[in-house]
Structure 1
Amino acid sequence: MTTKKIMLFSIVGFLLMAMVMGATFYFATQQRGEQQTAVKPMKTYTYSIGEMYANVKDSRKILKVNIEVETINEKLKETFDEKRPKMTNSILELLRNKTEEELSGEKGQKALRQQVLKSIKQVIPSDEIMDVFFVEFIVQ
Structure 2
Amino acid sequence: MKASKILIIVLLIVVVLLTCVIFVMKVYGKNGSEDKEQTYSLTLDTLYCDIKDSKSIVRINITIETNKEETFELLTKKMYIIKNNVNEIVRNKTEEELKGKDGQVSLQREIKNNLIQVFNEDSIVNVYFNEFVIQ
Q: Normalised by the size of structure 2, how large is the TM-score? A: 0.75
1:39 to 32, 40, 58: 32
Where does residue 96 of structure 1 map in the other structure? 91
Query: Could you tell me which residue of structure 1 aligns to residue 56 of structure 2?
Result: 61
Q: What is the CA-CA distance between 1:68 and the residue it aligns to? A: 0.9
Per the TM alignment, residue 28 of structure 1 is displaced from its structure 2 partner at its CA by: 6.2
5 Å matches for 1:80-95? Answer: 80-95=75-90
CA offsets 1:32-62 (integer angstroms, 9 cap, x no match) = 4222111123332211222212111111101
The 8 Å contact of residues 87 and 123 in structure 1, kept in 2 or not, is answered as no
Bigger shift: residues 36-45 or 115-124: 36-45
Distance in 2 separating the partners of 1:68 and 1:50: 9
Question: What amino acid is aligned across from residue 33 of structure 1 in structure 2?
Answer: K
Letter aligned with residue 43 of structure 2:
S
Q: Which residue of 2 aligns with 1:71?
A: 66
The CA distance in 2 between the partners of 1:32 and 1:138, in whole Å, is: 43
Q: 1:94: Cα distance to partner?
A: 0.7
Residues 81-133 of structure 1: per-residue CA shift (max 9 Å, x gap): 33222222221111101111111111111111111111111122223211111
CA contact (8 A) 1:54 1:63 kept: yes
More deviation, 53-62/37-46: 37-46
Contact 1:49 1:66 in 2 (8 A): yes
RMSD: 2.6
What SS is found at the alignment partner of 2:45? strand
Contact 2:42 2:76 in 1 (8 A): no
Q: 1:23 to 1:138 in 2, by over 3 A?
A: closer
Q: How many residues align?
A: 126
1:23 to partner: Cα distance: 8.6
